[in-house]
Amino acid sequence: MTSSRRGRFITLEGGEGTGKSTQVRRLAAALEARGIATVATREPGGSPGAEEIRRLLVEGEPARWEVMTETLLAYAARADHVARTIGPALVEGKWVVSDRFSDSTFAYQGAGRGMARETIRRIDSAVLDDFKPDLTLVLDLDVAVGLERAMRRPGAQSAKESRFEQFGIDFHERLRKAFLDIAKRHPDRCRVIDAAGTEDDIHAAILAAVAERFGL
């Protein structure tokens, strides 16, 4: 199986501890096994400049940034990510699978931290010129379970990059509701995936959604 002339852009979204990073890797490997050249990436980050900005966003205390500053940092990283990683890969016919994209800003800085949706939409339009994923998979999980999983992630990174995990439970409940709301607002590109099952169960559900969307 080969990719089309232009690649496809798939994003995985959801709250903390839903297993997005693992599922991005597994989906990319599955696509590669089907003969589709695939780039696995993440946000914030995904390009050298964006990775530098990532450290500003995910490390430190919850109150480190005022919400507008935080939103602009997210879009500065996203602009570089699209220009240097996502865009070139798609032009080359590769598929791109990203752990988060602009929906996360609408959830985290919008619903989570109170930035008006219209303000984010205007920034998004100016930075991305309405560029959107071809498919967004929203991994949905009970907030308490997700936070417990996030805190048990192995390695130093989970402890260091824990700024958003430190926000209160109400913040994370708003995130979950926001992601589900995004899926309802955009049924043409979003599919909700139950992230409460095993890693294999989630992977199978993701593969089914990708196959349905793209006719694989």
pLDDT attached to residue 159: 57
pLDDT attached to residue 140: 95
Q: Work out the widest C-alpha separation in the chain, in whole angstroms.
A: 48
pLDDT attached to residue 161: 64
Q: Using CA atoms of 205, 31, 23, 185 in order, give the dihedral in degrees to the nearest 10.
A: -60
pLDDT attached to residue 58: 86
Q: Which amino acid is at 201?
A: D
Cβ contacts of 118 within 8 Å, gap of 6 or more: none
Profile the chain (216 residues) by mean pLDDT over runs of 10 residues.
Answer: 71 91 96 97 96 90 89 97 97 97 96 95 95 97 83 57 76 94 96 94 97 92
pLDDT attached to residue 143: 86
Superfamily of domain 9-214: P-loop containing nucleotide triphosphate hydrolases (3.40.50.300)
Structure tokens at 47: 């390009």
pLDDT attached to residue 163: 75
Q: What is the pTM of this model?
A: 0.90
Cα(78)–Cα(127) distance, rounded to whole angstroms?
Answer: 8
Range 28-34, long-range pairs (CB < 8 A, 24+ positions): 28/97, 30/203, 30/207, 31/95, 31/97, 31/210, 34/1, 34/216
Domain ranges (residues) in the chain: 9-214
